[in-house]
């Protein structure tokens, strides 16, 4: 059996996550039992939610166990199979974690899914045509419920979720404004992703300044907001929301290191009669087929052209992940393994 390199969570962060929280180990892959499949991973996904799971605190899911492989999405191919539905060479997506290989009990619902790479690149199933894309779809379609002509705003606009949100919203006839960090990201949002405007939050020191920029970019106010960041960005957006606006809360990356995230203007929820709803996309598996069908069409036809940042080799995963948390990535952050 092949040697499997793995990255474990060795200890929990005290404040900001650091590379020494992780540990690289190697061990042989176990022999397969009936119903199991050995998957060789080609790419693994790095996502902001992983930082929250590193803490041993109350959350929507259990903490990442110490001494075990970091959990996360993977795509690859079947290297060996003892399950009748999977053959060697099948391209698959699953939750194999930060390792070269995974042994999957393929009969478990949702554990492993075959994918078609004839029109969609394999790694896209970790981004636009995977969990991040479905996250954007659910927040937009089920919470914001856009109408043609609405003005919608999304933070972290050039990431895997934000870029998918932009394409989905434009397909519904909305005006879409992004918030991103840096002129290159904002130019990409407008020139390649088709956003109507993009605001560089790094040019604004406080919520008042960012609010002024939002007023210029959204002269008719904001009807819907997809929240990935929290903090100053949320404060600024709140001041520009129209009456009966809708806010889909996906993430609060500004607070993932444990710092409190006070809201400056909570009274605006009442004054503007806002709907503010958090969601976890894995709790809504019933929408995934519909969402993935639309997202796959957008990618296959070139209407969604997501950018990727790709680190090489498993050992590069911790530093790439820490960079993601600081906004160093451009688009979806992946690690290529083979």
How far apart are the C-alpha atoms of 288 and 311, rounded to whole Å? 28
Q: Are 182 and 199 in contact (CB under 8 A)?
A: no
Q: How many CA atoms lie within 13 A of 14 on its CB side?
A: 1
At residue 61, the pLDDT reads 77
Average pLDDT, consecutive stretches of 10 residues, N- to C-terminus, the chain (338 residues) = 94 94 96 96 95 84 92 97 97 97 94 93 95 97 98 95 96 97 96 96 96 98 96 96 97 72 93 97 94 95 91 98 91 94
How far apart are the C-alpha atoms of 261 and 97, rounded to whole Å? 30
At residue 257, the pLDDT reads 64
How far apart are the C-alpha atoms of 181 and 167, rounded to whole Å? 19
Helices (H), the chain: 49-53, 131-138, 160-170, 183-191, 207-217, 232-238, 267-271, 288-300, 317-325
What backbone phi and psi angles, to 5 degrees, belong to 41? -80, 135
The residue extents of the domains of the chain are: 3-127+306-336, 131-282
Dihedral, CA of residue 239, residue 243, residue 245 and residue 247, to nearest 10: 40
Nearby residues of 104 by Cβ (< 8 Å), 6 or more positions away: 36, 37, 38, 39, 94, 96, 111, 112
How far apart are the C-alpha atoms of 240 and 261, rounded to whole Å? 19
At residue 256, the pLDDT reads 65
Fold of 131-282: Rossmann fold (3.40.50)
At residue 258, the pLDDT reads 64
What pTM does this model have? 0.90
Q: Are 306 and 185 in contact (CB under 8 A)?
A: no
At residue 251, the pLDDT reads 86
At residue 262, the pLDDT reads 85
At residue 73, the pLDDT reads 96
Q: Which CATH number fits domain 3-127+306-336: 3.90.180.10, 3.30.70.20, 3.40.50.300, 3.30.70.360?
A: 3.90.180.10
How far apart are the C-alpha atoms of 211 and 197, rounded to whole Å? 14
What secondary structure does DSSP assign to 69-98, as a single string?
A: BPP--EEEEEEEE-STT--TT-EEEE---S
What backbone phi and psi angles, to 5 degrees, belong to 89? 100, -15
At residue 336, the pLDDT reads 98
**Sign of the CA dihedral 55, 60, 66, 68?**
negative
């Amino acid at each position: 059996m092949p040697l499997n390199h793995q990255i474990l969570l060795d200890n929990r962060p005290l404040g900001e996550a650091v590379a020494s929280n992780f540990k690289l180990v190697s061990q042989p892959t176990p022999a397969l039992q009936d119903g199991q499949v050995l998957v060789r991973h080609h790419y693994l996904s790095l996502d902001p939610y992983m930082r929250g799971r590193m803490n041993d605190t109350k959350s929507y899911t259990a903490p990442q166990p110490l001494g075990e492989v970091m959990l996360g999405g993977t795509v690859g191919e079947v290297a060996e199979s003892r399950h009748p539905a999977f053959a060697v060479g099948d391209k698959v997506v699953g939750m194999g974690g930060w390792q070269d290989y995974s042994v999957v009990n393929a009969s478990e619902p949702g554990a492993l899914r075959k994918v078609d790479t004839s029109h969609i690149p394999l790694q896209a199933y970790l981004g636009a045509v995977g969990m991040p894309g479905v996250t954007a779809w659910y927040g937009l379609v089920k919470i914001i419920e856009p109408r043609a002509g609405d003005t919608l705003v999304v933070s972290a606009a050039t990431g895997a979720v934000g870029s998918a949100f932009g394409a989905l919203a434009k397909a519904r006839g909305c005006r879409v404004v992004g918030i991103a960090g840096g002129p290159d990201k904002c130019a990409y949002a407008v020139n390649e992703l088709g956003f109507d405007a993009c605001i560089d939050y790094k040019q604004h020191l406080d919520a008042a300044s960012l609010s002024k920029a939002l007023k210029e970019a959204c002269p008719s106010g904001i009807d819907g907001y997809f929240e990935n960041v929290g903090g100053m960005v949320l404060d600024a957006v709140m001041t520009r929301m129209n009456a009966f606006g809708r806010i889909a809360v996906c993430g609060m990356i500004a607070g993932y290191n444990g710092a409190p995230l006070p809201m400056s203007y909570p009274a605006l929820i009442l004054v503007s009669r806002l709907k503010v709803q958090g969601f976890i996309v894995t709790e809504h598996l019933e929408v995934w087929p519909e969402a993935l069908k639309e997202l796959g069409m957008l990618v296959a036809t070139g209407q969604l052209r997501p950018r990727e940042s790709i680190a090489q080799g498993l050992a590069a995963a911790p530093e790439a992940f820490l960079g993601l948390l600081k906004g160093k990535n451009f688009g979806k952050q992946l690690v290529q393994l083979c």
